[in-house]
Amino acid sequence: MKMRTHADLERVRTKGRALLRPERPRICVGMATCGMAAGAKTVFEAMEEAANASGLDFMLIPTGCIGCCQEEPLVDVRLPARGRVLYARMTPEAGKHLIANLSALQFPGDHALAVIPDLDPDLPERPPELSRIPLIHDLPFYKKQHKIILSNSGLIDPRSMEEYAAAGGFRSLEKALLHLSPQEVVEEITRSGLRGRGGAGFSTGKKWHLCSQAPGRVRYVICNADEGDPGAYMDRTVLESDPCAVIEGMIIAGYAVGASEGYVYVRNEYPLAIERIRHAIEQCEALGLLGDDILGSGFGFSIQVVRGAGAFVCGEETALIASMEGGLAEPSPRPPYPAVKGLWGQPTLINNVKTLASVAAIVAKGADWYAGIGTKGNAGTVVFSLVGSVANTGLVEAPLGLSLNDMIHEIGGGGLGGRRVKAVQTGGPSGGCLPADLFHLPIDYTSLSQAGAIMGSGGMVVMDENTCMVDVALYFLRFTMAESCGKCTPCREGTRYMVEILTRITEGKAGPDDLSLLEEVALWVKGASLCGLGQTAPNPVLSTLRYFRDEYEAHVKEKRCPSGVCRALIRLNIVPELCTGCGLCLRECPVGAITGEKKQPHVIDPALCTRCRTCWDICPEGAVEIMR
Amino acid sequence: MPLIAPRDHPPPGAVLDRLHAIHSVRGYLPEADLLTAAQDLAVPLSQLYSAASFYSAFSFQPRGRHTVQVCLGTACYIRGGDRLLERLETLLEVKPGETTQDRMFTLETVHCLGSCSMSPVVRVDEETYGRVKADRLGRMLKKYRLNGPEHTQVEEPVL
Please state the separation of Cα A518 from the chain's center in Å.
31
State how far residue B103 is from chain A, nearest Cα, in angstroms: 22
Please state whether the peptide bond connecting residue B62 to the residue before it is cis, i.e. omega within 30 degrees of 0.
no
The answer to whether the Cβ–Cβ distance between B111 and A483 falls below 8 Å is yes
| CATH numeric code, A570-627 | 3.30.70.20
Select A469-557's CATH number: 1.20.1440.230, 2.40.10.10, 1.10.290.10, 3.40.640.10: 1.20.1440.230
A308: closest chain B residue by CA: B16
Which chain A residues are Cβ-neighbours of B47 within 8 angstroms?
326-327
- Residue-level pLDDT at A435: 97
Q: Select the residue of A42, A304, A329 nearest B151 (Cβ to Cβ).
A: A42
CA of B122 vs chain A CAs: smallest distance (Å): 9
Strand ranges (E), A151-260: 220-225
Q: Name chain A contacts of B58, Cβ cutoff 8 Å.
A: 309
Indicate the helix (H) or strand (E) that contains A625: strand A624-627
Mean pLDDT of A608-628: 93
Yes or no, beta carbons of A389 and B78 under 8 Å apart: yes
Instruction: Report ipTM for this prediction.
Output: 0.88
In this structure, how many other beta carbons lie within 10 angstroms of the beta carbon of residue A246? 29
Tell me which chain A residues have a C-beta less than 8 angstroms from the C-beta of B140.
Answer: none
Mean pLDDT of A524-540: 95
What are the residue ranges spanned by the domains of chain B? 14-54, 66-146
Mean pLDDT, consecutive 10-residue stretches, chain B (159 aa), reads 60 94 94 95 91 93 93 92 94 94 94 90 92 92 73 39
What's the pLDDT at A34? 87
Comparing alpha-carbon positions, the chain B residue that sits nearest to A418 is: B159
CA nearest B58 in A: which residue?
A309
Could you say which of B58, B135, B152 has the minimum Cβ distance to residue A42? B152
Of A89, A416, A485, nearest to B159 by CB-CB distance is: A416
Q: Where are the domains of chain A?
A: 6-143, 169-369, 375-464, 469-557, 570-627
**CB-CB: which of A38, A343, A395 is closest to B12?**
A343
Instruction: Report the pLDDT value the prediction gives residue A127, as an integer from 0 to 100.
Output: 84
Q: Which of A385, A417, A476 sits opposite B116 (nearest CB)?
A: A385
- A 186-245 → B contacts, CB under 8 A: 220, 227-233, 236-237
CATH of B66-146, one of 3.40.50.620, 3.40.800.10, 3.40.30.10, 3.40.50.300: 3.40.30.10
pLDDT of residue B150: 44
Sheet with B127-129: strands ordered across = B105-110, B66-71, B122-124, B127-129
* CB < 8 Å to A95, chain B: none
Tell me the CATH class for A6-143. Answer: alpha beta
Residues from chain A that touch B157, judged by Cβ atoms under 8 A, are 70
Interchain pair B13, A324: CB under 8 A: yes
CA A547 to chain CA centroid, Å, is 26
- A308 contacts B16? CB cut-off 8 A: yes
Count Cβ atoms below 10 Å from residue B59 Cβ, excluding itself: 18
Long-range contacts of the stretch A588-593 (C-beta < 8 A, 24+):
A588/A614, A588/A615, A588/A618, A588/B87, A588/B134, A588/B135, A589/A614, A589/A615, A590/A614, A590/B86, A590/B87, A590/B89, A590/B90, A590/B134, A591/B90
Nearest to B12 among A37, A324, A329 (CB): A324
Whether the CB-CB separation of A278 and A242 falls below 8 Å is answered with: no
The 10s digit of each residue's pLDDT in A160-210 is 999 999 999 999 999 999 999 999 999 999 999 999 999 889 999 999 999
Length of chain A: 628
Q: What is the pLDDT of residue B4?
A: 56
Would A6-143 and A375-464 be classified into the same CATH topology? no
Summarize pLDDT for A328-369 with one digit per residue, the tens: 899 999 999 999 999 999 999 999 999 999 999 999 999 999
Give residues 35 to 54 of A whose Cβ lies within 8 Å of B. 36-39, 41-42
CB spacing of B114 vs A270 below 8 angstroms: yes
- The fold for domain A375-464 equals Ubiquitin-like (UB roll) (3.10.20)
Residue B109: partners with Cβ closer than 8 Å, 6 or more residues away: B69, B70, B71, B72, B85, B96
* Residue A60, pLDDT above cutoff 60: yes
Nearest to B115 among A37, A304, A476 (CB): A37
Give residue B151's pLDDT: 41
Whose CA is closest to A218, among A301, A335, A281?
Answer: A301
pLDDT (tens digit per residue) in A563-603: 999 999 999 999 999 999 999 999 999 899 999 999 999 99
**A34 vs B contacts (CB less than 8 Å):** 114-118, 130
